[in-house]
Amino acid sequence: MPRIPCLALLTVALAVTTCGAAAPATVAFSRQSDRVRIEIGGTHFSDYLHQGWPKPCLYPILDADGTAYTRDYPFKKNPAEVPDHDWHRGVWFAHGLVNGHDLWRELPDKKTGRIVLERILETRDGPTGILRVRNRWLAAEGQPLLTEETTLRISRTSDGTFLDYDIRLLATHGAVTLGDTEEGTMAVRVNEAIRVTHGKGKDKRPGTGRLVNANGESGVPAWGKRAAWVDYSGPLADGRIIGIALLEHPQNPRHPTWWHARDYGLLSANPFGKHDFEKLKDQPNAGDLVIPAGGELRLRYRLIFHRGNEKTARVAELFRAYAAQP
């Protein structure tokens, strides 16, 4: 029998190993005048939109095959969607009471504030793509309230697409009070097809979506509860089930956070709305948090865009892995 050199055997073994493990898809960024386009493995994932709207957001959120995880309104007219809450756009971070100013809602009276891109600090391509931005939070009259520096980390694995928000709110213009209101804060508006209910008012009817938190509370009762994570999932028209999990890092203040999670498709983590969520009518400032002048507040969240429901996607297990990160 001919003898095979050890080096040849090693080469074959390495080749087999390489073929058996697919390399992570590269996340790539391209800067444009009004957005940063984000691709994963050469296909469109999302755009960080920073011009033309009162606050930045990520829209659309797409899977590798083009499946949309977020609703289209108000970017596109879609007859299957209810045109409500114009300020619910894709994925975004904002709050409804900042030194008395509303930076969450966008009302016709123009009395709501804005979040404006100051600078794109960094874009870094790779298996985990990184986008760093600096934003200014402004009152309706234009005076600065605070500075936000956010790092987004994006990756895709067999478990889904991961979007990490690492947010630093800097009190660069005096002390900042993040006030007690349900209107906030780290949010996503899901694909209309997976809502728990459809329509509104007299036309409201049950949907096929599922909203559930880490404690097992589901549907309407999950609103205002404290939990480490919440998952929103449901079937598309073709029967495929998709979902979005929003996880809160346990090092955030007031963990586990309260949830402004609605049956009509809003999924939002809010650590400041205690009196609204717990119905403490005699304690309107119970959830206020003050950042002293020159200080900062760090908040971290992970969104997972996955197939299946929270059980098949192993959201509880994925949260434990996230929680273990320092």
Q: Which of 8-17, 107-116, 151-160, 294-303 shows the lowest mean pLDDT across its residues?
A: 8-17
DSSP state of 316: H
For residues 220-240, average pLDDT? 98
Q: What is the pLDDT of residues 85-98, one digit of tens each?
A: 999 999 999 999 99
**pLDDT band of 202, cuts 50, 70, 90:** confident
Q: State yes or no: pLDDT of 11 exceeds 90.
A: no
Q: Where are the domains of the chain?
A: 24-323
> What percent of the chain lies above the pLDDT cut of 70?
93
Please list, residue by residue across 201-210, b when 16 or more beta carbons sit within 10 angstroms of its beta carbon and e when fewer do.
eeeeeebebb
The reported pLDDT for the residue numbered 21 is: 55
Q: How far is CA 191 from the centre of its chain?
A: 13
The reported pLDDT for the residue numbered 201 is: 84
Mean pLDDT of the residues in the chain: 94
Q: How many residues does the chain have?
A: 326
Rounded-to-integer distance, Cα 260 and Cα 273, Å: 9
More confident site: 204 or 318: 318
Tokens matching residue 268: 């939002």
The reported pLDDT for the residue numbered 200 is: 83
For residues 250-270, average pLDDT? 98
CATH 1.20.58 assigned to 24-323: no
Using alpha carbons, select from 209, 156, 146 the residue that is nearest to residue 39: 156
